[in-house]
Every structure is written in C-alpha cells, then in structure tokens.
C-alpha cells in the first residue's frame, strides 16, 4: 500500500476557511500529502465583544500533538500562527521531540485584516527557540523587517540583504516574500551561499487571504515528498501564483485563493528564477 508523507501544521484556526489551519489542510490535500493539524488559537471576531483571537491552552495543544504523533507519526512540520511566547516555547520542545527532517516556520505576525497574530514579547522566543531548528523560514517583508529590528525593506536589494542577515539567526534557508511590495511578486531565497529570486507577475486582485499560509504549507508538502529546498519553493510559488490567479470572493470581505486551481486549470504562470552566489 502506498502511503502519502505525513505533514503537520501547528497554527491558528481561521473560521472563514481561507487562511491558517484550514488553508494548510486544503493545500496538503491538493498536493497529496497526509495532513494533520494542531490548533494554537482560534481566530474569529465576536459580533458584540469584537474579541478576535481566542487562544487555546497549552494542555490542549499538547494533547493534540501527542494524539497525532501516536496515531500517525510525522515527516514534516509547518508552524503558522503561534500567538504567544508560551506557545512558542512549548511547540519548540514538541518539535525537538520528533526526528523530522523538514521544519518550515512561517513567522506569522499580522493577518491581512490586521488581526494581531503574534504578541510583541513572542518575537524573541521565536528567534531563540524556533528559527534555529528551521529548514526554512518564510517571512513576508513586514515580518522580515520586524525580525531585523524594524529595518526598512522596500526594494529587492533590501530583501536580498535581509535574507542574508536573517540567515544568521540559524535557519538553513530564508525565503523573503515580496508580495507586499509594488511591481511583480518577487521572492528571495537564500541558502547560505546562493541567492535566488523567484518572479511571478503581479495578479490584480485583493483576494489573497491565506496566500502566505498556503505557500509555506506547499513548501512543507514538497519537502516531505523528497524535493530539495529550491525545487520545493519553486513548485510552491507556482502553486500559490495559480491559486491567486483563480482567487475569488463571496462577500465584500477579502476572499480566498483557489487551492484547486492548479489541478483544475493547470499552471497559470511560469516563475522566472535567477541565481547568484554571494
Ligand atoms: O494569513 C495569516 C493568518 C494566519 N493564521 C491565521 C489567520 C491568518 C489571517 O487571518 O487567521 C489563523
């Protein structure tokens, strides 16, 4: 019997299904890996109190992790919204207790609708406990800036320097995602010796909720399927670009990317890459 590789996301639940755990599981299914989820917080705005982040307690996080490991086991892990220092510390210990070869850390800080997904005092914990264990980290430009003590990043050259400097925090690979800059969607990958830019056309849509989550989930899936980091990132960039190309909305609130797009319609855009050594 052929068994798919086992991929776990440790992240927040996004009730609308476009981001967080829900986006990760949809991505895993599309890429034919076995998905598991450990929920760290529940994001959903209460209509009266406006409370938006509902944390899950540490015991509940540990219970989910233990159950998934005992029932299934794990080949690769992705972390998304971790919210607090305490959760980061626990998750770091739980990850260390496995013998996985693939850890993707998406240092989620602020959601598209401005939800605060990481407390300020958690940044140091992320740097200390999680980044040194990571195969790859996938900050967008604002997150890269926060990890570099609020350094301004506004050009592709700034992103390249940011990737080089973030590498010193201990992750094996750095992917700085430039989707929030103007012009084409250019990301920068640094593996410690070479810099690769990955360029997709800018797609004219606001419906990109969960794009970052899905991108890092796709990287994790590809790594557990045996691809090396540069191939995994390229495949994942193609996947998310196609999902954004076919994104949609049901209401006047920012809509989801379409996870099934590549399977249904094929690749929408090829990704241009350029590699230079540092
Ligand atoms: O897209 C970032 C993100 C990650 N995780 C959760 C979210 C969001 C954005 O809303 O809700 C749980």
pLDDT of residue 115: 78
- 139 is a domain residue: yes
pLDDT, position 265: 98
Average pLDDT over residues 244-252: 98
Q: pLDDT tens digits for 63-104? A: 999 999 999 999 999 999 999 999 999 999 999 999 999 999
**Position 1 in a domain:** no
Output the ligand 1 site: residues, CB below 6 A: 11-14, 19-20, 43, 80-81, 108, 111-113, 115, 117, 210, 212-213
Contact status, residue 53 vs residue 116, Cβ threshold 8 Å: yes
With 0-12 CB in 10 A as exposed, 13-18 as middle and 19+ as buried, what is 15? middle
pLDDT at 113: 72
Q: How far is CA 151 from the centre of its chain?
A: 21
What is the distance in A from the centroid of ligand 1 to the CA of 135? Answer: 22
Mutate to test the pocket of ligand 1, among 105, 107, 210, 256 (most ligand atoms within 8 A of CB): 210
- For residue 230, pLDDT beyond 90: yes
Q: How far is the CA of 19 from the centre of ligand 1 (A)?
A: 5
The answer to whether residue 77 is domain-embedded is yes
Q: How confident is the model over 156-182, as a mean pLDDT?
A: 97
- The percentage of the chain sitting over the pLDDT mark of 90, rounded to a whole number, equals 94
Give residue-wise pLDDT tens across range 1-58.
899 999 999 999 999 999 999 999 999 999 999 999 999 999 999 999 999 999 999 9
Ranking 54-58, 113-117, 196-200, 202-206 by mean pLDDT, the lowest is: 113-117
* CA count, 13 A, side-chain hemisphere, 226: 1
* Four-point Cα dihedral 227, 232, 234, 240, nearest 10: 140
Instruction: Convert the chain into a string of H (helix), E (strand) and C (coil).
Output: CCCCCEEEEEEEEECCCCCHHHHHHHHHHHCCCEEEEEEEEEECCCCCCCCCEEECCHHHHHHHHHHHHHHCCCCEEEECCCECHHHHHHHHHHHHCCCCCEEEECCCCECCCCCECECCCHHHHHHHHHHHHCCEECCEHHHHHHHCCCCCCCCHHHHHHHHHHHHCCCCCEEEEECCCCCCCEEEEEECCCEEEEEEECCCCCCCCECHHHHHHHHHHHHHHCCCCHHHHHHHHHHHHHHHHHCCCCCCCCCCECCCCHHHHHCCCCCCEEEEEEC
| 26: number of Cβ within 10 Å | 23
Q: Return mean pLDDT, the chain.
A: 97
Contact predicate 256/207, CB 8 Å = yes
- How far apart CA 22 and CA 127 sit, in angstroms, is 26
Q: What residue's CA is closest to ligand 1, atom 1?
A: 210
- What sign for the dihedral angle of Cα 198, 204, 206, 209? negative
Which residue segment(s) compose the domain that 89 sits in?
Answer: 6-277
Least confident of 76-80, 128-132, 177-181, 228-232: 177-181
Model-wide pTM > 0.95: yes
* 81 within some domain: yes
Q: Looking at the 3D structure of the chain, how many domains does it have?
A: 1
Q: Ligand 1: distance of its center to the CA of 43 in Å?
A: 7
pLDDT digits (tens, 9 = 90+) for 264-278: 999 999 999 999 999
How many angstroms does the Cα of residue 237 sit away from the middle of ligand 1?
Answer: 19
Region 150-165 average pLDDT: 97
| CA–centroid distance, residue 277 to ligand 1 (Å) | 34
> Which residue's C-alpha comes closest to atom 2 of ligand 1?
111
C-alpha 274 – ligand 1 centre gap (Å): 30
- Token pair in block for residue 28: 């895993």
CATH number at residue 34: 3.40.1190.20
Two tokens at 53? 């982040």
C-beta neighbour count of 68 within 10 angstroms: 17
Strand partners, 54: 42
pLDDT at 182: 93
- Which residue's structure tokens are 């050259």? 157
Cα dihedral 110, 116, 119, 125 sign? negative
Residue nearest to atom 4 of ligand 1 (CA): 20
Asked if pLDDT for residue 112 goes beyond 90, the answer is: no
pLDDT the model gives residue 116: 82
């Amino acid at each position: 019997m052929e068994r798919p590789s086992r991929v776990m996301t440790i992240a927040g639940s996004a009730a609308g299904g476009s981001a967080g755990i829900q986006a990760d599981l949809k991505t895993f299914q599309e890429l034919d890996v076995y998905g598991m989820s450990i929920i760290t917080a529940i994001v959903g705005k209460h209509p009266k109190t406006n409370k938006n982040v509902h944390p899950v307690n540490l015991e509940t996080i540990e219970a989910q992790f233990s159950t998934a490991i005992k029932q299934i086991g794990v080949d690769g892990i992705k972390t998304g919204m971790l919210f607090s220092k305490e959760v980061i510390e626990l998750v770091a210990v739980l990850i260390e207790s496995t013998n996985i070869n693939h850890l993707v850390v998406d240092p989620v800080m602020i959601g598209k609708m401005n939800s605060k997904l990481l407390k300020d005092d958690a940044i140091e914990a992320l740097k200390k406990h999680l980044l040194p264990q990571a195969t790859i980290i996938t900050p967008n430009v604002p997150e890269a800036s926060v990890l570099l003590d609020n350094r301004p990043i506004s050009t592709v050259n700034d992103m390249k320097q940011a990737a080089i400097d973030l590498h010193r925090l201990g992750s094996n690979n750095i992917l700085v995602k430039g989707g929030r800059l103007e012009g084409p969607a250019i990301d920068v990958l640094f593996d410690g010796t070479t810099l690769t830019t990955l360029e997709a056309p800018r797609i004219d849509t606001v419906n990109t909720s969960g794009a970052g989550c899905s991108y890092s989930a796709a990287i994790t899936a590809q790594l557990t399927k045996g691809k090396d980091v540069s191939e995994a990132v390229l495949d994942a960039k193609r996947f998310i670009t196609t999902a954004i190309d076919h994104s949609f909305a049901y209401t006047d609130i920012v809509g989801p990317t379409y996870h099934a797009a590549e399977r249904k319609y094929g690749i929408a855009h090829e990704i241009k890459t350029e590699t230079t050594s540092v």
